[in-house]
Amino acid sequence: MPFHENLRTLRLARGLTQPLLAEKAGIEQSYLSKLENGRSKPSEDVLTRLAQALEVKPDTLTQDGEEDEGRSRRWRRAGFGAATAAVLVVSFLAGRATAVYPLSFGQVITGAGAAENTTQEILGLAPAGVQVMDVNGPHGTHFYIEGFASGQPAVTGYMDAIRKRFGGSFMNVRISPNADSAGMRHFELDYDKRASVAP
């Protein structure tokens, strides 16, 4: 508690009125009132006399108050620093989510990258007859796609869906001529989102 609250609390705890404590300490009651209301600070001499009148050490009146005020200032500074840091982090993440990457704010918070988002979309574009086993896009613009398809038309439909969604072009397309026992053919696609389609 601040000094003025300590003074008032100790006076009341000892059952003293303001006029009685002022008389015991040898000070004016109006001055004591100012001290208790926090409108004035005591000199060393007055502090000593008040402590004697209240039968406590002078430190009892001031120490907790100074520590609390210092602690309060430290908490206010720490709170201001934390609030500033939070605003900066939110601004940074919002900037990343809206300006740099085509991701939602939640994806940025959970650490998703642009390549991860595109990878998930490429997987989701696979039509019936196409089983995508792997989409590898370490640079976020060039992707290696591997899987199995029921045939050339299914792979072509998948490629068209990817081009329609992202643009770009397929640099290399490999489809196995032989089907496995389930009638599926292995395929590999090299896709680049930045590449323009050849005329």
* C-alpha span between 48 and 30 (Å, rounded): 18
The answer, as to whether pTM is greater than 0.75, is: no
1-111 and 114-192 agree in CATH topology: no
CA angle 98, 102, 108 (to 5 degrees): 70
* C-alpha span between 34 and 4 (Å, rounded): 9
Both tokens of residue 157?
């439909």
**CATH number for domain 1-111, candidates 3.20.20.70, 1.10.260.40, 3.30.70.1710, 3.10.20.90:** 1.10.260.40
Confidence of residue 189 (pLDDT cuts 50, 70, 90): very high
Question: Does residue 88 carry a pLDDT above 70?
Answer: no
Per-residue pLDDT tens for 58-77?
Answer: 888 887 544 455 556 666 66
* C-alpha span between 11 and 36 (Å, rounded): 10
Question: Does residue 117 carry a pLDDT above 90?
Answer: no
Both tokens of residue 61?
């009146």
- Which of these ranges, 25-29, 110-114, 147-151, has the smallest mean pLDDT? 110-114
Per-residue pLDDT tens for 118-142?
Answer: 788 888 899 988 998 888 876 667 8
Domain regions of the chain by residue span? 1-111, 114-192
Quick one: fold of 114-192?
Gyrase A; domain 2 (3.30.1360)
What is residue 156's predicted lDDT score, i.e. its pLDDT? Answer: 93
